Structure 1
Amino acid sequence: MGANFNLKTLTVALAALSAASIASAAGLDRSGQDITAFLQDGTYAETVYTYLDADVSGHDNAYVGPDKNAYQQGKKIDDIAESYDFFRYGVKADINDTFSVGILYDEPFGAAADYSGNNNFVDQNPLSPRNGEGTNVEVRTENITGILGAKLGENKNFQIYGGPVAQRVKANVKLRGTAYEVANGYTTNINADQDYGWIAGVAYSKPEIALQAALTYRSEIEHNANAFESYPLAPRVGGSIPPVAGGPFVFPSTRDGDIEITTPKSVNFDFQTGINPTMLATAKVRWVPWSDFAIVPSLYNEVSTANPAYRPDGLSLVSYDKDQWLVELGLAKRLTPALAVTGNIGWDSGAGNPVSSLGPIDGYYSAGLGAKYNFTENWAISAGGKYLWFGDAEGQIPSKTVVSNFEDNDGFALGMKLSYQAK
């Protein structure tokens, strides 16, 4: 066989760019749910900080007529994407040469958008108590994953792993402006809820050529949270329904009740292999079935059934038409025994177009650079940056009416990682 690509000599190059390796603009995906910290040799720990800043601007729809898909450029919509940051932590240890344990923390799903200015997504009614308020959405989630792994085979090349996942989710959505028709003024606050799922995977490694491959499945997680809804125009909508036995029906303007939210399952494939003793090739593929995901607050859904076209199921507040695919390819090069650099390119399919006006991006292309420096035998610091070219997208409201258009947008991600490894 040819040159031995000892994994230890390439460890300095591993995941140098992952400090800024966020997943995507598809759906609510954010962290990419990376588990590579658990796949490291020996005792390993990392702290990762990621910051994302995007410019997502466009125009509202000036078209007036029956065609839901028609678009005519309207008023300017300034940048709606709020910058956000999040942390990721991981720790892993070997019990013996067969069993390993680990704990991972990340913030897998989220959204942060805020409309302002003079457009159809801001309440412009001087008589409204919400005059000047813009459409706003904030979604945050937190995951804690426990993993137990067992290495199998004569040379311990195979590993199976799995464990429980605890997830916390909360959200706040405000719909403002004439773009949302009768839902102008609608607000829902979804209180924090914690529930549980699981993770399972299999990995294969061949240290002599620095090869490692891992396939990881995460289950969906069902939440039953408390949600308070305010729908100022709901009574007027109810009063417009033709009378039924006992008199006309009137929807309430507020409701305090439960909401079921199921965060999606996912599959990640992580791969690396040595090209020569100082260079590593990496690949990542991620799939998330966002077409199965929906946020359906009960009052919002119930009021939508006043329109016979949306009966019997009513409308979701947020939903997506397609599943997400993410592909990232990279190279890592060890320049010195302590310093390595990386570069990667990526593609994200998005979750359909038109897409929700609360996140009007149709996937992205990306390019990134990073570096990792071992300042002691065990401690290292990594830094990375990634530029993202967002796909053009039309924004739609839940009735599938196009209400906006967003073009030529971009963003960047920056990350830093502090890691410790002892073999």
Structure 2
Amino acid sequence: MVSKFITRSLLALTAAGVWQTQVHAGGFAWGEANTDILYERGNATVQAGVTYVNPRRDFDTINGANSSDDPFSQDYAIPNVAAMGRISESLACAFTYTKPYGGDSKYGPQARAADAATPGSPNYYFGKKFHANEYGATCDVSFEMGKGRLHFLGGGFMQDFTYKAEAFFGTLRLEDDSAFGYRFGIGYDIPEYALRAQLMYRSQIEHKADGDFTPLALAGLLGPAPVAADGHGTLPQSLKLSLQSGVAPGWLVYGSAEWTDWSVLKTLDYNIAGLPPQQDQYNWKDGWTLIGGVGHQFTDKIAGTLNVRWDKGVGNGADIMTDTWSVGAGAAIDCGPGQLRVGGGVSYLTSGSQSTAKGANFNATANGDWAYALTASYNIKF
């Protein structure tokens, strides 16, 4: 049998995500809504935190020449907030907020020159940035079954979308204030043994965005004032299986496997008034994420965890989105009225290449690169 401390601290570390960031590997995936807070058995629980990611992806060669550009991937931060209220022994609901998707790239002078020199290159980008906010509500209906409880989870979320692309021709801005999706799942847990199994599905989202295009090099054709623009694209569905169990007093093991349907993102299509239809090509493959780890209770107030993660690369040659291997560590520390959770990780981004023959704006290669992440959150139960 494992202690109540293991149930409260180690399950929080592994399920709620001390280090759950994909670090530029699994497509545009960033944060994950903390619906695991629904397994808390108190009357109410609030958790808030943030993860900072420092990806260091750069080009090794551009059009066959050694690159001296700085890393094009930019730092970002992912907030994560969850609040759970227990309505009855069998019903609890949670409200969550996070940034599930995002990306931020700025290209150096050598990449810009290669883009401009490529015959037929339509965009000549200086940089691209986008993010999505998710506001969700999920409820859990549970029943006693055997030594534990069977859980049915479901709810909906609203997701917005903001996109900005700066290029030689001008700056494109697109925004979708709201698109709606849903999630549902089934789980089973035996707190006495720190055992939990869960299967969770998250739906895909269709974004239809409006905005404008401010001409730069195209000012002679379109005029200097912004013109109307619109765009559309799909962000993927996913399915995640999570397992964990106490294996000895003070010890817990856990793992998960997640499939993400990144192959729906073939292109981001957009229209600019006065110009032919445009698109950014991705042609991504489906993604897989596998995680395995162990947790241990060190003292009555401190627990820790260590995990290994693999993200399958989704790139198909239009950009460089390769496999990533990660090691993460975290700790849960009882302090004050609640619990402080801190963690960090390091990722190795494997080498890869892109080519104009597969939809890239220019040919380039990348050697293995590194990415780093730090996270902190605080949890209070009522």
- TM-score in terms of structure 2 length: 0.86
Quote how far apart the aligned CAs of 1:388 are.
0.5
* 1:14 aligns with one of 5, 11, 14: 11
Letter in 2 for 1:342: T
Question: How much has 1:164 moved relative to structure 2?
Answer: 1.5
Which residue number in structure 1 is paired with residue 261 of structure 2? 289
Aligned-partner residue type, residue 198 of structure 1: Y
Once residues 140 and 93 of structure 1 are traced to their aligned partners in structure 2, the CA distance between those partners, rounded to angstroms, is 29
Deviations along 1:263-283, whole A, 9 cap, x unmatched?
A: 211112222110112111111
Q: Secondary structure at the match of 2:192?
A: helix
> Per-residue CA shift, 1:75-94, capped at 9, x if unaligned?
42221121111210011121
Letter in structure 1 aligned against 2:13? A
Measured after TM superposition, the shift of residue 6 of structure 1 is: 4.2
Matches within 5 A, 1:346-365: 346-356=309-319, 360-365=320-325
Query: In the alignment, what sits opposite 1:308?
Result: none
The answer on whether the counterparts of 2:233 and 2:268 sit within 8 Å (CA) in structure 1 is yes
Q: Is residue 298 from structure 1 mapped to residue 257 from structure 2 by the alignment?
A: no
Q: CA deviation at 1:35?
A: 2.5
CA drift at 1:150: 0.5
2: CA distance, partners of 1:120 / 1:171: 21
Q: 1:197 aligns with which of 172, 181, 185?
A: 181
SS in 2 for 1:27: coil
AA partner of residue 297 (structure 1): Y
Deviation for aligned residue 1:123: 8.9
1:367-378 to structure 2, matched below 5 A, reads 367-376=327-336
Counterparts of residues 28-177 of structure 1 (less than 5 Å): 28-42=28-42, 43-62=44-63, 72-116=64-108, 118-121=109-112, 135-154=126-145, 157-176=149-168
TM-aligned CA deviation for residue 287 of structure 1 = 1.6
Aligned-pair identity in percent equals 18
Give the equivalent residue in structure 2 for 1:389: 348
Shift of 1:292: 0.3
| Maintained 8 Å contact 2:27/2:321 | no
For the 8 Å contact 2:329–2:343, the answer to whether it is kept is: yes
Unaligned runs of 5+ in 1: 63-71, 126-132, 177-184, 237-249, 305-314
User: 1:316 matched to which residue of 2?
Assistant: 279
Shift of 1:408: 2.0
For normalisation by structure 1, the TM-score amounts to 0.79
Conserved in 2, the CA contact under 8 Å of 1:287 and 1:326?
yes
- Which letter maps to 2:72? I
Shift of 1:255: 4.9
- Alignment CA distance shift 1:386-1:228 (3 Å): same
Paired position in structure 1 for 2:371: 411
**1:214-249 deviation line (CA, Å, top 9, x unaligned):** 11111112222103235777899xxxxxxxxxxxxx
> Over alpha carbons, which structure has the higher Rg?
1
Question: Shift of the alpha carbon at 1:317?
Answer: 0.7
SS in 1 for 2:300: coil
How much has 1:73 moved relative to structure 2?
3.1
The DSSP-based 3-state class of the residue aligned with 1:38 is: helix
Bigger Cα displacement from structure 2, 191-200 vs 103-112 = 191-200
In structure 2, stretches of 5+ residues that fail to align are: 117-123
Between the aligned partners of 1:355 and 1:272, the Cα distance in structure 2 is: 38
For residues 13 and 143 of structure 2, what CA distance do their matches in structure 1 show? 28
Letter in 1 for 2:241: F
What does residue 242 of structure 1 align with? none
CA offset at residue 24 of structure 1?
Answer: 4.3
Give the direction of change, closer, same or farther, for the CA distance of 1:175–1:396 in structure 2 (3 Å limit): farther
Measured after TM superposition, the shift of residue 134 of structure 1 is 6.3
- Which residue of structure 1 lines up, in the alignment, with residue 119 of structure 2? none
> Which deviations, in whole Å up to 9, do the C-alpha atoms of 1:331-355 show, x marking residues without a partner?
1100111111110100000212424
Instruction: Assess if the C-alpha contact under 8 Å between 2:174 and 2:229 holds in 1.
Output: no
Partner secondary structure for residue 107 of structure 1: strand
Q: CA deviation at 1:201?
A: 0.9
CA deviations over 1:108-152 (Å, ceiling 9, x no partner): 000011112x30325999xxxxxxx96211111110110111112
SS in 1 for 2:279: coil
- Deviations, residues 346-371 of structure 1 (Å, cap 9, x unaligned): 00002124243xxx331310011111
Task: Give the aligned partner of residue 296 of structure 2.
Answer: 333
Aligned residues: 367
Pairwise CA distance, 1:400: 4.5
Aligned partners of 2:294 and 2:370: how far apart in 1? Answer: 24
Moved more, 31-40 or 332-341: 31-40
Compared CA separation, residues 217 and 370, structure 1 to 2 (3 A): same
Change (3 A) 1:329 1:165: same
- CA RMSD of superposed structures (Å): 2.9
Instruction: Give the SS at the match of 1:120.
Output: helix
The one-letter amino acid paired with 1:19 is: V
User: Counterparts of 2:9 and 2:156 in 1: how far apart (Å)?
Assistant: 30
